Amino acid sequence: MKKIKVGIIGTGFSAEAHIEALRRIPNVEVAAVCASSKPKGLAFAEKMNVPLAYNSVDDLVGNPDIQAVHNCTPNWLHFDMNKKVLLAGKHLLSEKPLALSSEQSAELVEIAGRQDVVSGVSFNYRHYPMVSQVREMLENGQRGKPSLVYGGYLQDWLSLDTDYSWRLEQDKNGPSRAIADIGSHWCDTVQYVMNRKITKVFADLKTVHPIRKKPKTALNTFASGGQVERENVEISTEDYGSILIHMEGGVQGVFTVSQVSAGRKNRLFFEIVADGATFAWDQEKPNHLWVGNRSKANEEWLKDPALLSPKSGALAHYPGGHQEGWPDGLKNLCLDFYRKVSDRSHAASFATLADGHRIMRLIEAILESHRTEKWVSL
């Protein structure tokens, strides 16, 4: 089978992660990268052993051999580049957010609907074996109907007022930060697991550090500034948020996001309460699933393809006791995406552009709720 040739836009953490994931799946070749300058592109291509380097998205999508593009650029570039990829008739896998506003994301959904391409958004937490297992256990109804959900997504990489990133700047990251950057992942994961959409929100947000000490020289995301010259800058996007939610089917819940919780590195977690059980999963312990029971001993499921349901077991690529985690979830996303590229009849589970657009609407509803101190419906 002829390999699908892929182009990667971006040179940061996401770009490297996508390249590594693609090299772990069959019939896909990373053929080109695109950077903001020719020297940067050449250096990244040499580092990652990729044959071609561009400093123009137009040149990348103009290469007839490139069939698919992964957009791994900073947020403010997503809309324009996603639009160019789609209009060029290339398959698109975009990092989230899909755009900086729901108006932009709606336009991308409309364009994708006119093109004969596969397109998706990189909400990778859907693709963990134990997350899939919860979805299947809820679908079969043996544990009853869900009624409540709660959890959150906690990090600490912005916990100090000396922590700084382009993600703190509205013109680059959009009007929301903690909700858009990590709350979007929690919402997509829970909506997928429960097969229900969030329909109503009530939000309380907080900027813990309204003044931050910005380094006068640029730093990469998640990097420590150390002893550098700094200047005070005002911050308007949220460090924290708690959001009450209503979902389809009468489910209610709440989630909390924070990028200032010392010691919490990347803790996406949820608990789903059904009539006969509670399901709890934590991304920092991804191979464990806790199932709480009322009238018998609680259960702890461990990632083992021999013990999971067939569909969820297929997402576990190593035997029980062999730990899998974040890179493997991204690998599963890429596997799912390129199966769809190769076979349009494949029942894919990755987030579509329509899913990404709804997340944009959800982010805007949360901001409106915080501003008005009222419930907002989608």
Instruction: Give mean pLDDT, residues 19-30.
Output: 97
Q: What is the pLDDT of residues 282-331, one digit of tens each?
A: 999 999 999 999 999 999 999 999 999 999 999 999 999 999 999 999 99
Confidence grade of residue 28 (pLDDT, cut at 50, 70, 90): very high
Write down how long the chain is.
Answer: 378
pLDDT reported for residue 216: 83
Residue 101 pLDDT exceeds 60: yes
Mean pLDDT over 248-264 rounds to 98
Place of tokens 């919780």: 261
What integer pLDDT is reported at residue 162 of this predicted model? 96
pLDDT of residue 40 exceeding 70, the answer is: yes
C-alpha to C-alpha distance for 178 and 258, rounded to whole angstroms: 6
pLDDT reported for residue 328: 98
| 57 compared with 223, residue with greater pLDDT | 57
pLDDT of residue 239: 98
The predicted pLDDT at position 217 comes to: 79
Mean pLDDT of the chain: 96
CATH 3.40.50.720 residue ranges of the chain are: 4-121
pLDDT at 61 over 90: yes
Mean pLDDT of 60-80: 97
Q: Where in the chain is the domain with CATH 3.30.360.10?
A: 128-325+334-372
CA nearest neighbour of 18 among 177, 124, 165, 118: 124
Q: What is the pLDDT of residues 196-251, one digit of tens each?
A: 999 999 999 999 999 999 998 766 665 555 678 899 999 999 999 999 999 999 99
- Which CATH fold would you assign to the domain 4-121? Rossmann fold (3.40.50)
Residues paired with residue 146 on neighbouring β-strands, in sequence order: 274
CATH hierarchy code of domain 128-325+334-372: 3.30.360.10
The pLDDT of residue 222 is: 54
pLDDT tens string 107-137: 999 999 999 999 999 999 999 999 999 999 9
Report whether the peptide linkage leading into residue 215 is cis, meaning its omega lies within 30 degrees of zero.
Answer: no
What pairing do the DSSP bridges indicate for beta strands 267-274 and 146-154?
Answer: antiparallel
Residue range 130-169, pLDDT digits in tens:
999 999 999 999 899 999 999 999 999 999 999 999 999 9
CA distance 230 to 49: 36
What is the spatial order of strands in the sheet that 119-121 belongs to?
52-54, 28-34, 4-9, 68-71, 91-94, 119-121
Instruction: Note the pLDDT of residue 247.
Output: 98
What pTM was estimated for this model as a whole? 0.95
